[in-house]
Amino acid sequence: MQIIKRPEDMARITTKELADAFIAEQIEAVRAQVGDKKVLLALSGGVDSSVVAALLIKAIGKQLVCVHVNHGLMRKGESEQVIEVFRNQLDANLIYVDATDRFLDLLAGVEEPEKKRKIIGGEFIKVFDEESAKLEGISFLAQGTIYPDILESDGVKAHHNVGGLPEDMQMGLVEPVALLYKDEVRVVGKALGLPDEMVFRQPFPGPGLGVRCLGAITRDRLHALREADAILREEFDKCGLAGKVWQYFIAVPDFKSVGVKDGKRYEGWPAIIRAVNTVDAMTATIEEIPYDILHHITNRITHEVDGINRVLLDLTPKPIGTIEWE
């Protein structure tokens, strides 16, 4: 595979004017490449695929077919936001697949993290392939590949876009943001009019909440995790930490402890808060969260989320702990 290089004289996209110029240039390039053919895109709702989708809608409209697969491991409200922004606001040609039961049935009883990741990744490709097989006349596959993916495609990120394509793939590739860094993709996303919560969405692993619902995933614990995580995100937004912290989330392990609720013994899971800052994701430091905010989040989670009776704070930097728990 030929590795493309970013030109040394390429200006960093930091302003709306530079982003607008880039968008105009890419619209022209995409139209020249695609002509009147159809393009298929797996739209996860992440920053990169969302920006590519918005850019391609501007360039080729309904010739773009977006497929959003909800594997049941998304954060609260994320699939709904994809439908609202792309189908309702941008009038995208969007196919929505709710594959929640299919994924969760396959994951039932699976504890080993790497096995979970493989099941989720493998099944995602199957669902996407099934949906694309129903479509006719698709000549191109669009991807949200960005420049760090290309730099790391020597095996470090073999699961990502660049490393995982079949050698005999018949479709041409459309990768309009392949020379951009993540901060530039966000500037372009803003210029395209995407909402802030999509453009500034924090990094989210492909297996989603599947690697934060520790051990074998159960529907009740997954639901508790999703609700607790939504409270954490809401409170970080309110107090201004959302803009200061690179990644923050809840993990819920597969064990219970005794608590007291309404004067009775109450067994529940702990919710573990992780909030880290990093430049390159190779190392990470712990964000200092004021205790009054921690007390408020704890109070909300333990009172509002059924099944959780303790809130813990992970204080481990990377190294020695990884950013995700699994």
How many CA atoms lie less than 13 Å away from 39 in the CB half-sphere? 28
User: What does the pLDDT look like over 152-196, one tens digit per residue?
Assistant: 765 433 334 433 444 555 789 999 999 999 999 999 999 999 999
Length of the chain: 326
> CA 294 → CA 134, 245, 267, distances in Å?
49, 15, 22
User: What does the pLDDT look like over 107-160, one tens digit per residue?
Assistant: 999 999 999 999 999 999 999 999 989 999 999 999 999 998 888 765 433 334
* Residue 306: count of CB within 10 angstroms of its CB: 11
- What domains are defined for the chain? 16-199 (3.40.50.620), 212-313 (3.30.300.10)
User: What does the pLDDT look like over 243-296, one tens digit per residue?
Assistant: 899 999 999 999 999 999 888 999 999 999 999 998 877 899 999 999 999 999
How much is the pTM? 0.88
> CA 255 → CA 91, 113, 229, distances in Å?
45, 16, 18
Q: What is the mean pLDDT of residues 1-19?
A: 86
